Amino acid sequence: MKTMADARKLAVKALTKIERDKAYSNIVINSFLKETALTKEDKALFSALVYGVLDRKITLDWVLDGFMKKPVSKTSPFTLNVLRTGLYQIMYMDKIPHSAAVNEAVKNIKQSKESKNAAFVNAVLRAAARNEIKLPEGNTPEEMSIKYSAPLWMTESFTDDYGTENAENLLMKSLEPPKVVLRANTVKITRGELAGKLRENGISAQEGEMPDSLTVEKGIDVSGNELYKKGLFYVQDYASQKAVSLLAPKSGSRVLDLCAAPGGKSFTAACLMENKGEIISCDLYEQRVGLIRSSAERLGLGIIKPAVSDAAVFNPELGLFDYVICDVPCSGLGVIRRKPELKYKTVNDFSHLEDIQYAILCNASEYLKDTGRILYSTCTLRSAENEKLVIRFKKEYNEFETVYEHTFLPHTDNTDGFYCALLEKR
């Protein structure tokens, strides 16, 4: 059986892999947990260290720079991640003694190919443990970048779009663990019945803010849950549920979900339609279409017809629709607490997105019947991908009217960061 020290060692390996391969944290963490035998406590420590370091990497590097003669940027990735995990424990994990954090970090580096750096790691972490660490207290973009571990371009973007107070609240909220929100598959079960069955399984779930939702306060192994396997629920944040409920697809209607994977909005639409009508759920890649198909089968939502299709290219064979869901690829700044690695991209990584989003929205309009509705949505908090893009679209397609528009902010709406606009063809 693995020990706590091994949990720390695995965390360093996982962090190095995420950084080197530009991989998604949740995928790397899940693969490490599947391949390695760890106790429940070790799994918790491993996950907390990986997510914690990713959440606080800019802050940790700023602090480390103050105790190092050479800059962080000149330190090898493995040694740097040993230092980060050690410092994270010192700064943010009250139940772990500073001495244990330092000693285990030194042990980890001694057992690696970079053992020559053991004295260096020991000196830096002992200095950090001895001294009081003070972070900037102001709220300029530069200070918030260090304090909340966000790149400067992001703190500037949030400040420009939402003002300093909202920007700080957004960044503060991004470091809190997200809640798990379930939606009852109302084709099979009511919310109340699902809550009862979860309780029988030892899972406490509270009624959520949307009519068919439940909030789980403590961790739940969703994919391993028998009720999940039976198709009684799926995971979907409040903002997504709210957006589809505003679209309000009627029973028996035709719906096109242009960028559907992994399928949550299609599933909610199918439930609202009482599994009557037709939903064409598209994605560009067969593998992702397969995910939609298997989930729809698990949920017993037979009106969902998964299809491989390019969201930006019109396909006349699909026909016309009463409703089009247009949840476009985006920079993801509304879900950085779920995918903290997104914080370490540059703004240039997103520069191509607005043209893709616009092309998809324009294409969506070609599929719509007269008096039909488009739901345009993103899980980001950049006005360039949200309000400004919709304004641009309406200038060219003036037959569309905005009947609802809202930016969901985590600290005010109690949701992920999310934008949606409901556009009606007149």
Catalytic residues: 379
Residue 396 class from Cβ within 10 Å (0-12 exposed, 13-18 middle, 19+ buried)? exposed
* H-run or E-run covering 242: helix 238-247
Q: How far apart are CA 378 and CA 348, in angstroms?
A: 18
Biggest CA–CA distance in the chain, Å, is 72
Q: How far apart are CA 306 and CA 296, in angstroms?
A: 9
Strands across the sheet with 180-184, in order? Answer: 205-207, 213-216, 180-184, 233-235
With CA atoms as reference, report the closest residue to 336 among 150, 198, 203.
150
The half-sphere exposure of 118 on its side-chain side, counting CA atoms within 13 A, is 12
Is-contact 339 24, C-beta < 8 A? yes
Q: How far apart are CA 388 and CA 283, in angstroms?
A: 25
* H-run or E-run covering 367: none
Amino acid of residue 363: N
Is-contact 303 328, C-beta < 8 A? no
Amino acid of residue 252: G
Q: Contacts for 388-393 with beta carbons within 8 Å, 24 or more apart? A: 389/354, 389/357, 389/358, 389/361, 390/361, 390/421, 390/423, 392/358, 393/358, 393/361, 393/362, 393/423
* H-run or E-run covering 359: helix 353-366
Buried b (16+ CB within 10 A) or exposed e, 66-89: ebbeeebeebeebbbbbbbbbbbb
